Structure 1
Amino acid sequence: MAVDNLLERITDYANRPDPYPLYAELREAGVARQQDGSYLVGTYHDIAALLHDPRISADPRNHTAPSRGWAEDGPKPPFLRLDDPEHQRLRGLAMRPFGPPHSPGRIDAMRGEISRITEELIETLKDHGQIDVVDDIAYPLPVTVICRLLGVPREDEPLFREWSDAIVASADVRSEEDSTPREQAGSKARAEMGGYLVDLAEQRRGHPTDDMLSAFVNEPDPAKRLTDEELAATAVLLLIAGHETTVNLITNGVLTLLRHPDQLDRLRQDPGLLPNAVEELLRYEPPVHMRERIPLANIEVAGTTIPRGTTVVLALAAGNRDPQRFRDPERFDPARPDNQHLGFGSGIHLCYGAPLARIEAQIALGALIPRLGTARLLQDPPPYRRNAMLRGPRHLPIEL
């Protein structure tokens, strides 16, 4: 079959339940030029090399095509979509109240609270014969955690959920004729959500509280303060990234374990395998399937020349099942050795929130596994989210 429409087929909602045969086609091709002029890369070693290549930009303003949602004279993208040195500066400032070296114990100290939130969620479901893993556990847990970490009122969740949906949709990798309406909706949502978060932060200026928004506006060193624009972009990124991917990680974890009852039983018998199992889930069913990059010069990948300024889609989920890198890659193995997956990306943009996501997934799955012994899926495949880049079930109904 022709590979010049692979992106269209991968992003077709009909293939959301199982895009892996398409990823195998992509790996066979190595690099596939698409009808819209973009390029797909699907082999592990090529993806890893490109994620570490300084000639590859994350900044959408480096497209030779029109703005793709980020105008030169508009707001700067968040640090996730910037290159060094600006990326390094903003990521470093965002990291100060989050993790090492300035706040080394912050995330680890939340283990007790995350466990308590998880147990409270599960306790409310103890008499339920059926639950939706997404709505009942996988979504409320990371949302509650990131709200407390940032200092966002949990009761405002319906407000920022609408903004989050629009922003995530605008960032999706899709093959479509006109992405303008989606990008405009995303820009509007970013502006509104950013204004909301800056206003919350300003309420704490001079009145510090134990949250990240407060830490940002009460930074004593003028050289280490974020501007209002930077604060808005950073806070929006942290609030969205702090829950969107973790929802998928937890939900895909439950789905995978219920599809592999032998491995579920193995983890029930040996809970010490759980950290390894989470790493295997990040490889086998990752929450992020694709990332978009832009070459700053003509580059050659697997014998194909990719022109400067074009879109390159790195299919991380395809690389995670590359038989040239992983032995028996289609097998889910919670004890898999040498599991240097691409579930959190790689290179300078390695996921900022990976330590928190790992802890949340370990605690959530650790609490659920003993209760899944007689559980069964009520829908398989379950209904999936529309998003192809952040792939995961929209609902996961199970019977306990």
Structure 2
Amino acid sequence: MTTTETPGMLRRILDYSSRADPYPLYTELRRTPVSLQDDGSYVISTYGEITDILHNPHLSSDRRNLSCPTAGAADETTPPFINLDPPEHDRLRRMAMRHFGPPHTPGLVTGLEPDLAAIVSGLIDDFAGKEQIDIVDDFAYPFPVTVICRLLGVPREDEPRFRLWVDDIIIAIDYNPKTDPKEKLDKGVQARKDLRQYLGGLLEQRHGRPGNDLLSRLANDDGPDGRMTDEEIVATANLLLIAGHETTVNLITNGMLTLLRHPQVLQRLRDEPDLIVPLVEELLRYEPPVHIIPWRAAYSDITVAGTVIPKGSQIMLMLASGNRDPDHFHDPDRFDPDRRDNQHLGFGSGIHLCFGAPLARRETHIALTGLVRRLDRPRLVADPPPYRRSPILRGPVHLHIEQGDG
């Protein structure tokens, strides 16, 4: 049954003071699986209902279908496919996948493994002589950024430029016109324009010049579905550049933090390297890099857990809450790398299942294995560490550790 008692709970979850540990609040939120907010939106917090929504063909991922479009929606003249619905979503995702994974490029991720291992090894080599290491700045950020730049064909030396834009875009995702200064939204809108213009410039250089990077392939390949327009290529590259490193940074950092909080599991991973595969799946459940899908729109009136959600309503999916739902996961607040049948929501579900999940998984396998194998008695400097502002893409902004005798 829907109540209006939980808007205050959502505000507490979104407030920065809860960033280090929102999970007790998720427990309270799940008491009302579907909760109506002050602004007319609906929050879904339980596993079964979230999964149903993600597989419901009557739900739209296009913000332009909201009765009251979210801030910045009008700026998306050519949204990335993650913010589109079939058939356009399916066409664009299929065209991108031709160059990113099976069935047309099945060896992409496995072919990258020597490079991934070399990047990880080099970054850990650079820890030598440092009294303190920041897992974020010294490792978890530069690793996936280097990888996605190589894949896309974005010059790695341009990272300081696009990092500022990406930061402003991420900060603006959860813009609330009632509580946030308009400058937060304006900076995000301008950053999206600047990043699109930058990627558009790189794309212009690829036309008529086939190459191995993704921008070149998209610019010059005519597959069964034809060729993307330049605007569609830029929107796709924008999505892959941001999602290709932001979520992986969080996954690696949350993973190392979790291992340091569970030293017996860290030692076990040293002794049993094959444990890394189920361990990362459990990390995706226990400390996922994405906590919230901030919008879905109802094409028509729908009923969820006995609650009628009107057409055009905004629906917010609390993925991290679903991942700790005791009605689906046994002892959900325990980190258990031996957990069986771990059908988590760490990469979402349904037609919008994370496009880059295979790469993110393999990057995290190699990153955490390398850190655990080579760090000497690592320990946290501060627990909890400082967190990023975003409640949607949740992870530490820094994770300082010491190693050795100290």
Normalised TM-score (structure 2): 0.95
Q: CA RMSD in A?
A: 1.7
Of 51, 64, 75, 1:48 maps to 51
Counterpart code for 1:10: I
**Conserved 8 A contact 2:148-2:244:** yes
Give the 3-state SS of the residue equivalent to 2:7 in structure 1: coil
SS in 1 for 2:362: helix
What is the rounded CA distance, in whole Å, between the counterparts of 2:69 and 2:148 in structure 1?
Answer: 34
Residue deviations 1:183-217, cap 9 Å, x none?
33322222221121121122122222210001011
Residue of structure 2 in register with 1:227 after alignment: 229
Shift of 1:223: 4.6
Q: Is 1:79 matched with 2:81?
A: yes
Match of 2:249 among 242, 247, 250: 247
Alignment of 1:376 with 2:373, yes or no, is no
| Aligned match of 2:206 | 204
- Equivalent residues of 1:173, 1:389 under 8 A apart: no
1:293/1:15 Cα in 2 relative to 1: closer, same or farther (>3 Å)? Answer: same
The 3 A distance-change label for structure 1 pair 66 and 323 is: closer
Deviating more after overlay: 328-337 vs 169-178:
169-178
For structure 2, the 5+ residue unaligned runs are none
Q: Secondary structure at the match of 1:336?
A: coil
State the AA in 2 paired with 1:358: R
Q: How many positions carry a matched residue from both structures?
A: 399
- Matches of 1:89 and 1:2 in 2, distance apart? 42
Match of 2:310 among 281, 284, 307: 307
Structure-1 residue corresponding to 2:363: 360
- Secondary structure in 2 matching 1:294: strand
Aligned to 1:280: 282
SS at match of 1:114: helix
Q: Is the 8 A contact 2:65 2:297 kept in 1?
A: yes
Matches within 5 A, 1:337-352: 337-352=340-355
Q: Which of 106, 116, 129 in structure 2 is aligned with 1:104?
A: 106
> Post-superposition shift, 1:13?
0.2
2:14 is aligned to: 11
Cα 1:180/1:80, change in 2 over 3 Å: farther
Contact (CA 8 Å) 2:99, 2:217: kept in 1 or not? yes
Work out whether residues 290 and 346 of structure 2, in 8 Å CA contact, stay in contact via their aligned partners in 1: yes
Pick from 134, 138, 141 the counterpart of residue 139 of structure 1: 141
Aligned to 2:239: 237
How many angstroms apart in 2 are the aligned matches of 1:26 and 1:328?
A: 18
Report 1:2-41 matches (<5 A).
2-41=5-44
Displacement of 1:359: 0.5
Secondary structure in structure 1 of the residue aligned to 2:297: strand
Q: CA 1:139–1:382 in 2, change beyond 3 Å: closer, same or farther? A: same
Contact 1:60 1:68 survives alignment (8 Å):
no
SS in 2 for 1:398: strand
Partner-residue secondary structure (3-state), 1:40: strand
Could you say if the C-alpha distance between residues 271 and 175 of structure 1 is closer, same or farther in structure 2, counting changes exceeding 3 Å?
farther
In 1, the alpha carbon distance for the partners of 2:302 and 2:175 equals: 21
Task: Tell whether 2:161 aligns with 1:151.
Answer: no
Question: How many angstroms apart in 2 are the aligned matches of 1:192 and 1:222?
Answer: 32
Whole-angstrom distance in 2 between the partners of 1:2 and 1:381: 30
- Report what 2:297 is aligned to: 294
Tell me, in whole angstroms, the C-alpha distance in 1 between the residues paired with 2:31 and 2:164. Answer: 39
Among candidates 162, 165, 168, match of residue 167 of structure 2 = 165
Q: Cα distance, 1:363 vs. partner? A: 0.2
1:111-135 CA distance string (max 9 Å, x none): 1100000000000112222100000
CA contact (8 A) 2:63 2:69 kept: no
Q: For residues 52 and 173 of structure 1, do their structure 2 counterparts lie closer, same or farther at Cα, with a shift above 3 Å needed?
A: farther
Task: Give, in angstroms, the shift of residue 172 of structure 1.
Answer: 2.9
TM-score (norm 1): 0.96
* Residue equivalent to 2:131: 129
Query: Structure 1 residue 119 and structure 2 residue 121: aligned?
Result: yes
Change (3 A) 1:93 1:398: same
Report the Cα distance in structure 2 between the residues aligned to 1:178 and 1:57, rounded to whole angstroms.
26
Partners of 2:355 and 2:215 in 1: CA distance: 17
How many Å apart are 1:173 and its aligned residue?
Answer: 6.9
Tell me by how many angstroms 1:179 deviates.
7.3
Work out the CA distance in 1 between the residues paired with 2:365 and 2:176: 32
**Once structures 1 and 2 are overlaid, which stretch shifts more, 2-11 or 118-127?**
2-11
| Residue 373 of structure 1, CA deviation | 5.2
Distance 1:56 1:182, change over 3 A: farther
1:392, 1:199 → 2: CA distance?
Answer: 32
The answer to whether the Cα contact below 8 Å between 1:4 and 1:33 also exists between their aligned partners in 2 is yes
